[in-house]
Amino acid sequence: MPVQDRKDPLTYKGAGVDISAGNEAVRRIKRLVAGTRRPEQIGDIGGFAGLMGLPTGVGDPVLVACTDGVGTKLLVAIALDRHDTVGVDLVAMNVNDLLVTGASTLFVLDYIACDRVVPERIEALVSGIVDGCKQARCALLGGETAELPGLYARDHYDLAAFAVGVVDRSKMLGPTRVKSGDVVLGLRSSGLHSNGYSLARKALLDPAHAGLSFADRLPGDPAGRSVGEALLAPTRIYEPAFAALRGLEHAPLHGAAHITGGGLLENPARALADDLALELDLSSLDLPPVIAAVAAQGVGVRELLRTFNCGVGMLLYVDPAHVDVVRSALAAIGEEPYALGRVVPRPAADAPQVRLSGASWMGGAVEVE
């Protein structure tokens, strides 16, 4: 049947997908992405795929890859109509996972899915992704914006990213290098980061609990932030800390753990061999105000510890002979690590691998069951 022109033709835009808006969004973000270019990058964005060479000076390169999203923190951004920070979270959740292997990040690819393309909103989202890539010293090599009418609620969207890094095989971190006696240092978080938002929103916003609004002041916050500001605080990116340690003599960093979902109870053991355990003393650690406000709504200690980072976004497992050198290197970039504990032999195969104690808000020791 031949295609015929009609006075009221059916169009893609009429079905909910605006190609012109998509083109405008791409035009806006090209200038942002250019600021993340790395020397190894080949060509510019806009092709069918991004091209990246391996850096020189890596004797036995191992590629490291991961993927993650931002989760229901996006509902906070959507409710506040502020979209320029969650892109940092998107990069951080990927890059921080890469760092614990000893890798540095080469590039990130982003995926934005939405009910309709609003160029200004896409530009704001990508500006946050670019900010995160600059902090992580990696390229935003490409991405995809998908307009999916009918799949998402009006003005809702989702974010995902895929990151690739590289590490010299001889410098890989993890369970094969961490040993009994290693000292555990903690790097502070900026708050919730990007985990536990379903629980946090229920505790703080639900009328059956705190019943606060995004505009209300967060209880107990010395900075006087609103609930919305505290919930949107971007996830810290720990590339500067790891960069400060990569070139140290004696390779004193043996392993690391990114504290995400599962909190301080479940993540630390992921960097340990089965015959090792971890004893952490949290007496020097105060709960961030936003997590303390959530706890005040009746969230138990174990639930806090397995849901939130409780103030520690990254654990470092350090050779005890070189702790002072590591501390000095971190202090030089403005980090103030917590001395949290030590790696010890695991007394039995069925014994807990993580034991936490010391914090007054805990009310006693907590172990992984």
Q: What is the DSSP string of 225-276?
A: -BHHHHHTPPPP--HHHHHHHHT-TT--EEEEEE--TTHHHHSGGGGS-TTE
Distance CA 112, CA 145 (A): 5
Q: How many CB atoms neighbour CB 44 within 10 A? A: 13
Residue-level pLDDT at 250: 94
Residue-level pLDDT at 365: 66
**CA geometry: angle at 178 spanning 343 and 365, to 5°?**
25
Ramachandran bin of 250, using left for φ above 0, alpha for ψ from -120 to 50, beta for the remaining angles: left
Residue 19 confidence (pLDDT) above 60: yes
Residue 358, both tokens: 């010391």
Least confident of 16-25, 56-65, 156-165, 182-191: 16-25
Alpha carbon dihedral 24, 25, 26, 31, in 10-degree steps, equals: 100
Distance CA 167, CA 330 (A): 21
183-188 and 312-318: which strand pairing? antiparallel
Residue-level pLDDT at 369: 46
Q: Give per-residue pLDDT as tens, 110-129.
A: 999 999 999 999 999 999 99
Distance CA 234, CA 89 (A): 6
Q: How many CB atoms neighbour CB 202 within 10 A? A: 15
Q: What is the DSSP string of 288-336?
A: PHHHHHHHTTT--HHHHHHHS-TTEEEEEEE-GGGHHHHHHHHHTTT--
- Helix %, strand %, coil % for the chain, to 5? 30, 25, 45
Mean pLDDT of 215-223: 96
Residue 293 confidence (pLDDT) above 80: yes
Distance CA 183, CA 319 (A): 6
DSSP state at residue 217: B
Mean pLDDT of 123-142: 96
Average pLDDT, the chain: 92
Mean pLDDT of 318-326: 97
Residue 50 confidence (pLDDT) above 70: yes
Residue 142, both tokens: 């490409």
**Is the CB of residue 273 less than 8 Å from the CB of residue 180?**
no
Q: Is the dihedral of CA 126, 132, 134, 139 positive or negative?
A: negative
**Is the CB of residue 257 less than 8 Å from the CB of residue 315?**
yes
Residues 6+ apart with CB under 8 A from 226: 214, 215, 216, 217, 218
Mean pLDDT of 191-209: 97
pTM for the predicted model, two decimal places = 0.92
Mean pLDDT of 128-157: 95
pLDDT band of residue 31 (cuts 50, 70, 90) is: confident
Name the more confident of 345 and 13: 345
**Is the CB of residue 316 less than 8 Å from the CB of residue 253?**
yes
Q: How many CB atoms neighbour CB 78 within 10 A? A: 16
